[in-house]
Amino acid sequence: MSDPLDFSAKVILVTGGGKGVGRGISLSFLAAGARVVICSRTPPEDMPACGDNVAQFTTCNVKDAAQIDACIDYVMKRFGRLDVLVNNVGGTPYKDAATASPRFSENVIGLNLISPMNFSNAANRVMQTQQSGGCIVNISSVSAIRPSPGTAAYGAAKAALLALGAAQAREWAPRVRVNTIIVGLVKTEQAHLHYGDDAGIAAVAGTIPLERMASPEDIGNACLYLSGPLSGSTTGTSLTVHGGGEKPRFLDAANPGN
């Protein structure tokens, strides 16, 4: 019986795969033997690698449709196939909804919704021609399923990404599967920018039932599952990876001593 987590014959494209969550995704696929291509506007200082298996890099501004097409072309010319696309690029600065300019909101929605939609469309055109089809994994956020104060446009875009993936899965079946991961709090190399020092990070982690933030590799391993035969009948759905979620604040108000 073949190993369902052996990706040695697969080609994976990870947007923003050089740092943060994207780097963890790249490393998980590299450890599974896959040939990994990462893309972003600038190359990472330290290319993801697992032993002798090193990721390849190509420049791509994911908000530029022509550069997306060029990125897909690079993968096809380099490897002759594309088995998995992970739409990882995203994010937003903090901005109160009432003071966010139209241009600010449009840029946030463009990065977090329009870009993965365009990338998925380009990948699907290739995958539909392959006998083995392909898989697309979108990286969403818990901001899609709970209030997102200070990042309202981001939360709205990530919520729309859930609907987008479900619609694409229906349209592109049976050859291409599309699923979405709803990502909770993740400890990356930039965690201190959001949560402060080690004590702040530990305090935030203490609010999670598993008592830790996810690692980038945790998200990568979820991508492995959704991209391989273990999830062969899974498409058009979402997988929540958030350590059990956040404790409802009403419980503290109702039981202040607990």
> CA nearest 95: which of 115, 83, 109?
109
Domain presence at residue 258:
no
Give residue 191's pLDDT: 76
Asked if pLDDT for residue 190 goes beyond 90, the answer is no
Domain presence at residue 3:
no
Domain presence at residue 141:
yes
Asked if pLDDT for residue 257 goes beyond 70, the answer is no
Structural domain containing residue 83: 11-189+216-251
- The mean of the pLDDT values for the chain is 94
Domain presence at residue 50:
yes
What backbone torsions phi and psi does residue 205 show, to the nearest 5 degrees?
Answer: -60, -30
List the CATH number of the domain containing 229.
3.40.50.720
Domain presence at residue 172:
yes
| Stated pTM of the model | 0.94
Domain presence at residue 90:
yes
Distance (Å, rounded) from C-alpha 208 to C-alpha 200?
13
**Percent residues over pLDDT 70 in the chain:** 97
Domain presence at residue 207:
no
Domain presence at residue 203:
no
Say which range, 89-93, 122-126, 222-226, 254-258, has the weakest mean pLDDT.
254-258
Reported confidence tier of residue 62, pLDDT bands at 50, 70, 90: very high
Amino acid at 93: P
pLDDT in tens, 137-151: 999 999 999 999 999
Specify the number of domains making up the chain.
Answer: 1
